[in-house]
Structure 1
Amino acid sequence: MSKEKLSDEEKGILEQFIIPFYHIEKKLQLFPGNKSKEAEAALLGISLDELETYRCNLEENAKQAALELLKEEEVIDLIDKLPFDGEETIVAFGDSITEDDQSWFSILRNLLEISFEKPAFNFINSGVSYNTTSEALRRMDRDVLIHNPDWVFVALGTFDVQRLNIASDRTLIPLSETWENLNTISLILDDQVENPTLWMTPSPVISELLDSNPLYEFSIEAQDLEQVRQLVSGKTGGIVDPKGLRMGEGEPKAWNYLSDGLHHSLSGHVNTVREVLRTLAEVKIKS
């Protein structure tokens, strides 16, 4: 661990934008020490105890969010309609909005483990921060298919439409390539996974917050994101939030985001879980 004490500003950035979204076992898969929490803490410049405390707090946030959801009558009704028996392997294939330690997937995991008697689910969080569809496709075999999943959520596309500050006249990934990547992912999952793919549309961003955040060297424009949302909404399977309204009707609401206007707050993730449950309750199982 670094002996240099972090400033309050550095601690704030670490807590909000780094620790929840970075897990070295995902970033450095070929390194023998990638599962070492001591090494991870050292890279972050904190002690192992501090890292474990941060992670435990985030997990507790997700658990408490699940418990609050279970107070909602609609949620209880939806759980009764879920196509699960409690022994499924469920993979979330996404970017940083999925990798987040208190993400929608963490809340969903807690919700289902609380709700099912003697649950034996296997939840695999295959979110990797800032992944484009091209990067995700490249790792699909080792991060998704190797687990022989019963269900797969695909939550990708947001970072395809980055416009880098040094090249703002184009998106990082052309829309045609995003279409090809999503189509390839769809074909692979249709062939190798028994149940329908569950597609999550990218949610809006609050551009003025993103643009003013010095951590990021890119912008995201609403019209670019809408084009990707339309591609995802046109897929077969279950579509989570096809109109992209889960962060607020009309304009997305700031309280559903972190201060970057890009990643979701706990309330934003809770909104996503509600939409996930609604989609799962209605999805048509392959015959």
Structure 2
Amino acid sequence: MTSAAAVTPPAVAQLQYLHLEKLYGYLPGLTGALPAIFGLSPEEYAGIRDRFDAEARHAAEDLLADADLAGRVARLPFPPGARILAVGDSITDDLRSWAEILRHLLATARPADHLVVANAGLSAHTTAMVLRRWPSLLDPPPDWILCLLGGNDVTRVAGGKPQVSLAESVANLRELRRIAGERTRARWVWLTPVPVDEERADGSPAFRYGASSWRNGDITALADAVRGFDDPVVDLVDVFGVPAAPELQGPDGVHPSLAGQQRIVRALVQSLTA
């Protein structure tokens, strides 16, 4: 058996953020074919996923070592049996994301409550793309919806305009909220987009290949709009700073480091127990 550490970095990075079963799980045989799609053996595939899951679990345990935060987790307003839907892009889809850390946090601190955190993060998705899939993501109906979207809306390609205009992003987010209100009784929490490290992002080989770039001015403009929504808002611009604090952003400048993902969870817990 080849260890996960021996697998080439591109396969590891792809598997961290790209989860085809969320998009094409309806295709017969897809699950069994996933290791081969990534160029991995079943053992390598399972080992990489297990490693990321362990990192998310250890991040949760580290947070719970803080007595104040542990007390706040106990007070989180999630009733027993609640289904918590985490909506987002690759920052959420990440196998060691804030949603995965939250899942381990609740499973460790409140096992008797049987809380379910469903990670509905979809890498590379804009608000418009999520809107197209939205009704299916609301089945089964969640009790809480935590929404961190917009990072791909503000992506600029080849130095051009953002993929989705600010006005359209706001309209899409409001439409997601409207549909959820009609189809569920879920309580809603917004998380603003995460600031980037522009220099790191501009130097990332992957983003240079795709001619993709981000500007914090676009991110803060969308965050300003989100702060005006009616539901509770967790301000990640304030948490990360502008530009993002170096230790909170990963090597590519766009996807938070594990410390950054932990900081998102901490801010969410503090906001919901303020």
Counterpart among 34, 38, 48 of residue 44 in structure 1: 38
Please show how residues 19-58 of structure 1 align to structure 2 within 5 Å: 19-36=15-32, 39-58=33-52
Give the whole-Å Cα distance in 2 for the aligned partners of 1:50 and 1:10.
7
1:11 to 5, 8, 12: 8
- Structure 2: gaps of 5 or more residues: none
How far 1:203 moved relative to its partner?
Answer: 0.9
TM-score, with structure 1 as normaliser: 0.88
Q: CA deviation at 1:117?
A: 4.1
Residue in 2 that maps onto 1:126: 120
| Letter of the 1:170 counterpart | K
Question: How far apart are 1:21 and its partner, in Å?
Answer: 0.7
Partner of 2:135: 141
User: 2:206 aligns to what SS in structure 1?
Assistant: coil
How far does residue 189 in structure 1 lie from its aligned partner after superposition? 2.1
Quick one: which of 88, 92, 112 aligns to 2:86? Answer: 92
Aligned to 2:193, what secondary structure does the other structure show?
A: coil
Residue aligning to 2:161: 170
Matching residue within 99, 108, 113 for 2:107: 113
- By how many angstroms is 1:86 displaced? 2.7
Count of matched residue pairs:
268
C-alpha deviation, 1:87, in angstroms: 0.9
1:151 and 1:193 in contact (8 A); partners too = no
8 Å CA contact 1:199–1:240 kept in 2: the answer is: yes
1:239 CA drift (Å): 0.8
Query: Aligned equivalents of 1:264 and 1:218: distance in 2?
Result: 17
More helix, by proportion? 2
Task: Answer yes or no: is 1:158 the counterpart of 2:151.
Answer: yes
Q: Structure 2: which amino acid aligns with 1:256?
A: L
Change (3 A) 1:117 1:51: closer
Out of 240, 251, 265, which is 2:257 matched to? 265
> Which amino acid is the alignment partner of residue 13 of structure 1?
P
Q: Is the 8 A contact 1:196 1:238 kept in 2?
A: no
Q: Which residue of 2 aligns with 1:71?
A: 65
State the alpha-carbon separation in 1 of the partners of residues 132 and 6 from structure 2. 36
Q: Normalized against structure 2, the TM-score is what? A: 0.92
Distance in 2 separating the partners of 1:117 and 1:33: 33
Aligned-residue sequence identity (percent) comes to 29
Deviation at 1:265, TM superposition (A): 1.2
- Determine helix, strand or coil for the equivalent of 1:246: helix
Q: Please tell me whether the aligned partners of residues 83 and 144 of structure 2 are also in contact (alpha carbons under 8 angstroms).
A: yes
| RMSD over aligned Cα atoms | 1.9
d(CA) in 1 for partners of 2:247 and 2:224?
A: 25
Aligned residue type for 1:271 = R
What is the distance in 1 between the residues matched to 2:129 and 2:191? 17
Deviations along 1:164-222, one digit per CA (max 9) or x if unpaired, are 01xx2311111111111011112122333324311111110111111111212310111
Residue by residue, what CA displacement relative to the aligned partner does 1:234-284 show, whole Å, maximum 9, x if unpaired? 11222112x61222x4542222222100001110000000011012224xx
| In 2: Cα distance, 1:114 partner to 1:9 partner | 31
- Between the aligned partners of 1:12 and 1:114, the Cα distance in structure 2 is 30
Residue 253 (structure 1) aligned to one of 245, 257, 260: 245
The answer on whether the counterparts of 2:216 and 2:243 sit within 8 Å (CA) in structure 1 is: no
Comparing 153-162 and 211-220, the one that deviates more = 211-220
- 2:204 partner amino acid: N
Q: Are residues 1:187 and 2:178 paired?
A: yes
Secondary structure at the residue paired with 1:125?
Answer: strand
